Structures are given as C-alpha cells and as structure tokens.
Amino acid sequence: MNRLYASLVWGSIAFASVPSIAQDQSQGQAPTPAPAKDAMHTLPEGFITATGRYEPINRIAGTVQIIHQDRIEKSTARSVAELLSENAVGFMSEWTPGQTSINIRGAQTEGQGRDFRSQVLVLINGHRAGTANVSKLSNADIQRIEIVRGPSSVVYGSQNMGGVINIILKNGRTAPGGFIEGSAGSWDLFEGQAQYGGVTKGGFDYYGGVASSTRGNYAIPGGKSEENTAWTRFSATGAFGYQFNENNRIDMTARTDGIYNAGFRGSAANIFAFDTRTNASFDISITGNTPDKVMNYFFQAYYVNDVDALNNPSPLSALNTIPNRTFTDYNRRQLDVLGTRFQPSFNVWKGNQLLVGIDWERSWLRSDRNRVGGAAVTQASPQDNNQTDNVFAFYLEDSQSLIDDRLVVRGGIRQTFGTTALDWTPYSPTLITGSTNYQVTTWMAGATFQATDWLGFRAGASTGFRAPTATELGANFTVTPIGTTIFGNPGLYAETAQQMEAGTTLTWDGGRFDAVVFQNTIANRISAVTASSVGGRTIQVYQNNPANIVVQGLEFQAEADLVRSFKLPFEESWNWKVFGNGYYNFKMVDYGAPAAAGTGMATRINQYGMDIGTQFGQTGTRIPWSFQLLGILRGPMWYNTEESLSPVFFPGQIRSTTVYQKDPFWIWKMRGEVEVYRGIKVFAAVNNIFNVNAHPIFIAQDQVPCVAIQANQNGACGTSMAGREFIMGFQFRF
C-alpha cells in the first residue's frame, strides 16, 4: 500500500493501473489490491474524487474538506446535518429535527431543502441526491463525506454555487465484516444499527446495513419539555459489486433514508405541525480502463425518489382570522430523478489527463395539497407547482503536470442545456402551462505548486449557477396562503456565482494545516419583488436582483498527531490527536438588501465559525480506550426572521425583512469508549455539556419573558435547542 500511495502521489495519475479501480472509483474509493479476508480498505489520506476522478488532494486547485470514517464513528450526530455542524462546514440553520438549510461561502440551500431551488449541491455516490435537506439523511452507512468549497470543477451542474457535498456510502470493500451498535439516552432515545459486508474469491463483494432510532420531546435548560420535537428515523443500504476482469467492474447500490413524524418547531413555533421526509436512490456504475491504460471510463445511471409530506396547519395564529384558520394543511411533494453520466478520461501524453463528460437527466416534480379548517378555508395550490426538467450537458476538464509533477495546471468548461416545463397543478386553474429553454456556460481554471515536500500552494477561479424553476419562470401566478399573488417571469436569467481563491497547505510527520482566502460573488439572485399592495392583497413578480452578494473570507483545516509531531516521550500505545476547522468572513455584504432590512450584511451566514477537538487514548493494550472532547462555535449571524416579534423588545419589525443579529455561542460535547473484550466496545457521551439555552437561527426562544407575539404563534413561544443530553451504548464487530 505504501508503494502504491507513493507512486500515485509523485507519478502519473493513470488511476486505472490496478485491478480494482473500477469499483473503487465508482464508489469514490482509492484503488487497492484485491483484499484479504477481514481487511479494511479506505481511501488513503489525501486522495479525493471531488473532480469526478480519483487524484491526490495536492493536485486540486480548489478547497476540499473531508470528514473521514474515524470522525463519523466517534460522533454522536444522528443526521448528516449534525455531522456537518460538528465539522464547521458552514452555517447550519437546523429549523427542526427534520429540516436544515446550509450556507457555504454565501450560497445557501433553500429553507425546505428543495435542491432545485438551492445554491449548494448535495450528492450521494457522486450523483444528485434529490434533496438539499441533509437532516433527512442518516450517518449509518456513510464511508466519508467530501465537501468541495465553491464551484471548483465543471463536472457539476445546476446548484453548484457555494459548493458540493458528496456523501460516499460504504460497500463490501470499505466495510468488510459485521458491525452491531445499540444505544439509549435522554428523552427516550433509542438507536440501533447493523451492518455486514465482505469480498468473495470469485470477484464479488457485498454490503448490507439497516439503522433505526427514535426520540421523544427533548428538554431545554431548566428541564422544560419542548413540545412536538420528537422524531423517528429509519435507513437501509445494500451494495453489490463484481470485478469482471483486471480492467472492468460493475457496482450497484440501493438505499432508503428518512425521518418520520418529526415535530415542527420553527418560525411559527407550531406545536401542531409534523413532517415525514424520505429519500431513496438506486445507482449502477461501470468503470474500468483499456488494457494499455490510455483511456479510463466511468458510466453511471441512477434513479432518485425524494418525498416531503408536510402537515403544517395554523389553528391558533392571529395572523389568520378564525374562519381562515386550518386544522389540516397537508402538502405532499415528490421529486423523481432519472439520470446518466459518462466520463471517459485520456492520458493524452506524459503528465496530461483529459476528462470528457456527458450528462443527461430528467426530473419531474409532483405536488398535491389538502386543507381543512374554518368556514372560509378553501383548497389552495400546493407550495410548489408541478414541473418537468430535462438537462443535457457536455464538459471538458484538462490537467497537465510540469516540473517533475510539482506544478499542475488545469482548466475546464461546461455547457449546460435545459428545458423546464410548467405542468398542470391541482387547485391552480389559472396556471398557464408551457416550457422554457435555457443554456449556461460555466468554467474553471487553476494551478497547484508543490514548493517543497512540506509546503504547497494553489490558486483558482471558477463559476457556478442555479437554473430558474418552472414557478419562477411561469407567466402566470401562484396564490400563497397569506393572500400574496406571485407572477412568474419567463425572462429570468440563471443565478450565478464567481469565485476566486488562493491557498496553502503545510504537511509534516503527523500533521496537516490548510488555509485559503476566497471571494465568492453571487449575482442574478431570483426573488419575488412586491409590485403593489392594495386592500390586503399583495402582488409580487419574480425578478433577478441587479445587486450582488459578495463574501470574502478565510478558511482553515488542521489536524495533528501530537505524539508524532512533537516527538513526545509516550509509549507507542498512546494516541493524542487534535483537530479543527473554521472560517472567518471578513466581508459579507448584500448590495441588494432592501432599506427596511436596516443593514447590508448578508443574512443566514455566520460571520465566523469553528470546531476544535481532541482525541486521546491507547490502542494495542489489553483494554484499549479513547476519549474525545469537541467544541463547536456558532458565530454571529444576521437574520431577517419570519418570526412575529414583540414590539416591546423589537419595535418596528417588518416580518421577513427587518434584519437582527444573533450572538455567538459555544456548544461542547464529549465521548469516551472502552474495548472491554476483543471487538466489543462500550461508550458514553454527553452533548451540550454546559446546558446552553440557544439556537443557531431563531430569535424567540422558549423562555420567559417571551419575545414573540404569542398570539401569532401556534401554541408556543419560540424554539430552543436541546439541553444537556446523556447517551450510553455498545458496539460489536465480528
């Protein structure tokens, strides 16, 4: 393995030069020899698939953050949202246990997690996940997560404005053997998962995993129960692979994930609302290379089914008159995605690799809605109009090594062609159906330079986009529940992002530090602009905002084995690691913010954030053990809240317009484990050690005095995050 690692770092990146690359590339894994029984095969440190192919991280002109398996296994996170929050990936809203939005470099996912309206792209095994709501995704079957900051490669299409989150699942090669875990904790928490995988002598490998968890209403500092915060989760994954011969391989993965009956404590503090959100996918990948290793190829076909079943009634809020209040407001949204991707790459000459890509994807969104309530309640159109999208894209990305592979220059261009059709939608009799064509060109360019064995530099520039939705384009209107009529605009441009960055990486025996400065400019933002407001009726039109959001900042990643780094006189069995990730946005300005907002600060983005942690313990002893302490800093954030705040505390508020600042706060977690017998561990954890009463986004927390207008809420004051939580469990490997 060491010889293979060295040859890939300093030699050619003809990554199909070993027999198992077909399966490994399709699942985002490094090429490895055929495994022996019970061997564990993971991606070698420093290798990624962020550019659509396997290559060393020191050749990438963009910034990539990797959450490795050891961090995932020692985390108490119950969803991908919590895991990303623990690693300071960016701003995490955590609206409810089943709904989280993300902001990376000023680009954000849509609050409901609709990926077709989001500026951050979420992938599973390299294909579109069908959702940007990572709260509905479980950690149980994840091998690692790669976060590409900014639109650093042209292999990605729409939604790639702030970055890409690629969730790479386990398979029989990366997770051989059996694993069982069970745990219980505060507020009736019960969790369990089971996995088993392996490789046969006939070239087959297989993996299966299931996980389920449930929790009741959590408590906030002071012991008060936070109503309607309970949830149930379930996930299952199956993977199968076959090595045809030395050069070719096929892989299949099927999975389902979801959160069920999750309470809604969000901007309306609604204790009567609950959601069920599921996501499932199937992908098949064929990978390999020609016998002469000149051409490598990757073909993937995939199907995704994403469902949000939302029941968000408003039975108490004084924002609606009594006859207009609802007891049931059920909105079901289903997105189906069918797509293919073909990516051949060619080793044209020494040090050169040309990647060619062709993508095709068809998706269709279907929604329905049912409302029951007072005498004046009638059926209304769903939150989303039905639409069908067809996308075709062609792209090239080339890299050339120079100066004994120390300098790598690369560039790429992508042309995306799309057709968005507005389809018939229930309870929308005036909807004018039709389709709109669009095309967008994006590009990237950059270089890396390995100055010494321990110091590297990189610089790059790139662009990304988000295509308008059918609702935004439609030349007709959508009626919202609060009496607003929104007209579509067929003349809309795609939202765009352009970023520049420059970074450096220091490596030493036992450690790595990476820092980068960047600027991301987000233009042509699509939003509904008020055209008139008469007699309680508001007319809005979708328009491109002529002013930009500009975010400039600094990001860092650090990890070190202190025993190796400082040559500490510890016994060989001792381990002591420190790690951290963070960012500071020294400029985050929304030049198109309305005057009524009261500030030009970009909203729903932390000015700074960080995670810092340490792990120490012993391995190779009679009773191995480890302990981890983790601190998460949520920095200041500016928020144009949807909450109806009390004029006593917040005079002059205009809902969803007036901006307020949220103060920073720390959350601390710890976890310890002991291997009591070979393959059997017991562990215990404490979350929110200091019992902090806070929330990353909401201003009105569940506290006295209540700073919200409680008459406008639906049964509660506000939303506080969970208080101090205790967890105990066991793990069994076989």
Q: Which domains does the chain have, with CATH numbers?
A: 21-733 (2.40.170.20)
Residue 222 pLDDT > 50: yes
Sign of CA dihedral 50, 52, 53, 58: negative
β-pair type (177-185, 725-733): antiparallel
Question: Looking at residues 476-491, what average pLDDT do you find?
Answer: 70
Q: Which pLDDT band, with edges at 50, 70 and 90, does 673 fall under? A: very high
pLDDT band at 531 (very low <50, low <70, confident <90, very high): confident
Band (pLDDT 50/70/90 cuts) for residue 653 is: very high
Residue 123 vs residue 475, higher pLDDT: 123
Which pLDDT score is estimated for 380?
Answer: 87
Mean pLDDT across 369-389: 92
Position 108 scores a pLDDT of 93
Lowest mean pLDDT among 45-59, 156-170, 436-450, 563-577: 45-59
Would you call 313 helix, strand, or coil by DSSP? coil
Q: What is the pLDDT of residue 10?
A: 28
State residue 482's pLDDT score. 55
pLDDT at 480 exceeding the cut of 70: no
Which amino acid, residue 643? E
**Is the pLDDT assigned to residue 4 strictly greater than 60?**
no
**Residue percentage of the chain with pLDDT more than 90:** 75
Q: What is the mean pLDDT of residues 252-275?
A: 92
pLDDT the model gives residue 267: 81
Quick: pLDDT tens for 233-245: 999 999 999 999 9
Q: In the prediction, which pLDDT does 28 show?
A: 41
Q: Given 3-state DSSP classes, what are the helix, strand and coil percentages for the chain, each rounded to the nearest 5?
A: 5, 50, 40
Looking at the predicted structure, is the pLDDT value of residue 106 above 80?
Answer: yes
Q: What is the pLDDT of residue 113?
A: 87
pLDDT in tens, 323-342: 999 999 999 999 999 999 99
Between 661 and 4, the more confident residue is 661
C-alpha distances in Å from residue 507, one per residue of 240, 357, 416, 613, 616: 37, 33, 38, 19, 21
Can you give the pLDDT at residue 7? 31
> Are the C-beta atoms of 442 and 463 separated by less than 8 Å?
yes
What confidence score (pLDDT) does residue 153 get?
Answer: 86
pLDDT confidence bin for 476, thresholds 50/70/90: low
Residue 393 has pLDDT above 70, yes or no: yes
Peptide bond into 323 cis (omega under 30): no
User: Token pair of 17, please?
Assistant: 């030069």
Q: 384 pLDDT exceeds 90?
A: no
Residue 448 pLDDT exceeds 90: yes
pLDDT in tens, 533-585: 776 677 888 999 999 999 999 999 999 999 999 999 888 899 999 999 999 99
From residue 728, give the alpha-carbon distance in Å to each of 46, 226, 327: 33, 22, 39
Outline where DSSP puts E strands in 343-426: 345-346, 352-373, 387-402, 407-422
Residue 475: pLDDT band with limits 50, 70, 90? low
Span 282-291, mean pLDDT? 94
> How many helices (H) and strands (E) are present in the chain, helices listed first?
6, 39
Closest listed residue to residue 274, CA positions, set 727, 714, 732 = 714
Average of per-residue pLDDT values in the chain = 89
State yes or no: pLDDT of 152 exceeds 90. no
Query: Which positions ≥6 away from 349 have C-beta within 8 Å?
Result: none
Q: What is the pLDDT of residue 248?
A: 93
The pLDDT-based confidence of 43 (bands split at 50, 70, 90) is: very low
Kindly report, residue by residue over 626-652, the tens digit of the pLDDT.
Answer: 999 999 999 999 999 989 999 999 999
